[in-house]
Amino acid sequence: MRPTKDFFDAERKKVFTPGPFFTERVLARLGQPPRESGIWEVIPVSTRSVLALALVLILCFAVVQVIIPQIPQRGMIEAYLEADQNPAESFLYSEADVPSGQEFLEQLIAQEDQ
């Protein structure tokens, strides 16, 4: 039992006992000016290029979406000429007199319920 205890005591002294120049290193480190840390110093070097490429691609896709807008697949004329219209669409596209206010909303709701 004694050799095991001696071994653990020796290991404990190695771990918890600082070296001879510990205080000098700590004081020298405290005397240095603080380092400026930006976003690129926090990110590991291996992922910087991947992150930069991803940001550039996202920016390019956003610019393309702004410059070249999406063309709608179905406009009012195509919806009017389409053979399989639901009753609500046919009511909206017909040239009948449109009732005012609450009556119009009730008719639309009734068409969608069918």
Q: Are residues 82 and 46 located together in one domain of the fold? A: no
Q: Are residues 28 and 52 located together in one domain of the fold? A: yes
Among residues of the chain, what percentage have pLDDT more than 90? 11
The residue segments making up the domain with residue 108 are 76-113
Q: How large is the average pLDDT for residues 76-98?
A: 64
Per-residue pLDDT, 33? 77
Which tokens is 59 given? 């920016």
Q: Are residues 18 and 39 located together in one domain of the fold? A: yes
pLDDT tens, residue by residue, 39-68: 767 778 888 888 889 999 999 999 998 888
Map tokens 């195509």 to a residue: 78
Q: Are residues 19 and 48 located together in one domain of the fold? A: yes
Per-residue pLDDT, 80? 58
Q: Are residues 91 and 35 located together in one domain of the fold? A: no
